[in-house]
Amino acid sequence: MASFAQKYLIGAGTLLFSFVNFVACGSQLYQVSVRDDLDVSRVRQANPQYNDPESTLYGIHASSGWGSLPISFKLGTDMDYNQKQELLAAMQKWEWATGKSLFEFQGTHSDTKGDSFKDLFSSLGDEVNGHYIDADWNKTSKPTYVLATTIWNNTNSYSQIATADIRFNSQHYVIGDSLLVESEADKQVVDMQSLAIHELGHLLGLAHVDEEIDPVSVMNPSLFIGEGLTSRKLSRSDIVRIQTIYGCEGDACDIDALIEQQEHAEAGELSLTAKQWLDYGEKTPISH
């Protein structure tokens, strides 16, 4: 199995009050400073402390999270079964870290896929929180090396998220379970679950975390890609940060126990609910 390790750029965009605002991310590979590359003006309006490592709000862009939970979502018609499985596993990871039901499946987004939208931000124009695979990534106006991007609308408070979409770059990468899928001539494998954990972190209100602050955070602005390479474990600081926004329930409130559990866990089994979502989405194309 070819193992090709590189850290690649992960993009994050935000749309506030219908004002298009692109937040780019840095990467080690391209030696781009996250601070210099980030449009800090709007993130700072939401949370002035997001970039202060001494603050408990470091690495958080929307400290109020979503107004109500769970967050309903739909999947684009272009997402294959394996990608759906890995996306749901990523959602479960954040639910495990909070002990809360954060997400609720609303079916396949009828007749709609990433390429149905004319550009990146037009997918935010509907009331659907969608996850899409973009075969035509050029249309997003993002650089080719950006793996995926999360875009969102805030409510009338900059610290609260109203709607969000995630777009995955399948024009330039093979996106799926990196333990199963293989690279193609000009496309490297990117682990769907690892990438989705990061993008869902943005969707839930997390910003980037510098490698110098926490080298194993899933919110580092870069990701190792290649066959067999994964980054699916939340760091302690990731768990603390998500609980800063959403609190915790039950067993999730014991962070030491969570870390211990994660160290010894086998590859995660999807919950019964997630399995039902997966089968529902696959077997029953619905429109609403």
Interacting residues with Zn ion between 134 and 153 (CB under 5 A): none
State yes or no: residue 75 binds Zn ion (CB under 5 A): no
CB of 41 to Zn ion, least distance (A): 18
Q: Is 241 left (phi over 0), alpha (psi -120 to 50) or beta?
A: alpha
Interacting residues with Zn ion between 17 and 36 (CB under 5 A): 25
Helix spans in the chain (H): 34-37, 40-46, 81-98, 192-204, 236-246, 255-264, 272-283
Q: Which residue in the shown chain puts its C-beta closest to Zn ion?
A: 10
- Select the span of 10-18, 44-52, 166-174, 229-237 touching Zn ion (CB under 5 A): 10-18
- Select the span of 12-20, 131-139, 171-179, 269-277 touching Zn ion (CB under 5 A): 12-20
Number of residues in the chain: 288
State yes or no: residue 12 binds Zn ion (CB under 5 A): yes
Alpha carbon 122 to its chain's center: 19
State both tokens at 30. 């391209």
Nearer to Zn ion, 8 or 66 (CB): 8
d(CA 205, CA 42): 13
Nearer to Zn ion, 10 or 75 (CB): 10
Alpha carbon 110 to its chain's center: 22
State yes or no: residue 46 binds Zn ion (CB under 5 A): no
- Select the span of 9-17, 67-75, 77-85, 278-286 touching Zn ion (CB under 5 A): 9-17
Number of residues this chain uses to bind Zn ion (CB under 5 A): 3
Residue where the block lists tokens 């840095």: 26
Nearer to Zn ion, 200 or 258 (CB): 200
Read off the DSSP letter of residue 135.
S
CB of 278 to Zn ion, least distance (A): 26
CB of 109 to Zn ion, least distance (A): 23
SS3 for 37-102 is HCCHHHHHHHCCCCCCCCCCCCCECCCCEECCCCEEEEECCCCCHHHHHHHHHHHHHHHHHHCCCC
CB of 93 to Zn ion, least distance (A): 16
Q: How many other C-beta atoms are found inside a 10 Å radius of the C-beta of residue 6?
A: 15
CB of 139 to Zn ion, least distance (A): 20
Single residue of 8, 9, 10, 153 touching Zn ion by CB under 5 A: 10
Footprint of Zn ion (CB under 5 A): 10, 12, 25
